[in-house]
Chain A
């Protein structure tokens, strides 16, 4: 079974600075998807960024980028120019590409605080 580990329960960043959230995962599969989801205090979880394992290029989405290291099974999220609205709980998630409507496995989450 796949597992996802987020080793940082809480992180803090100064507004306008850069922060990196860590995620590692364990799988024996070669084709899969990795995600970062954000859950603000209002609770509705939204997608931040998505990475396909067969793509070597790291995904980017405006101020959000990932460092995907497939051999190391590492998938960190970098937030540049942090804004107050980035404060939320961030979840790393894994999903098998084999599973057409299957389950996503989530990490425990990292609570990010942004200081003005």
Chain B
């Protein structure tokens, strides 16, 4: 375990369902991220939050809705998804500062999403 916990690990949903992915870290990190990892594609950054404020939305469709209620928790709300949204969704966090650990991403194990 890296200290970043993602739930659920697996999720199957229909295109009309509404579900949420959860990410939690108690590492004292200020920044949290959602990445999408699809087969045969590079990691795609979706959203960045710094001290609870969204600083990056990488042209993600509105059917993905992030929420960051505090620096330790990050959600990804899903609704009316498409089959091509099936992927591994990775949450990551990173600490502030410029020491040797700064800027390093700590990843969760991922949530494997299948959209039917």
**Segment at the B interface, from A11-19, A44-52, A62-70, A78-86:** A44-52
A101 touches B42 (CB 8 A): no
The proximity string for B residues 16-54 relative to A, scoring 1 for CB distances below 8 Å and 0 otherwise, is: 000000000000001101000000011101001111000
Q: Beyond A50-B100, A101-B55, A106-B43, is A43–B88 a contact (Cβ under 8 Å)?
A: yes
Interface range on chain B: under 10, 10 to 19, 20 to 34, or 35 or more? 20 to 34
State how many angstroms separate the Cβ of B50 from the closest Cβ of chain A: 3
Ranked nearest first, the 8 interchain pairs of A and B with the lowest CB-CB distance are A101-B50, A101-B31, A45-B107, A106-B43, A44-B109, A108-B42, A103-B45, A33-B103
Residue of B30, B51, B105 most packed against chain A (CB within 10 A): B105
B2 touches A100 (CB 8 A): no
Contact of A90 with B by CB under 8 A: no
Contacts of B41 in A (CB 8 A): 108
* CB nearest to A103 among chain B residues: B45
Contact of B74 with A by CB under 8 A: no
The residues in A between 79 and 109 inclusive whose CB is less than 8 angstroms from any CB of B are 91, 93, 95, 97, 100-104, 106-109
Contacts of B103 in A (CB 8 A): 33, 50, 95, 97, 104
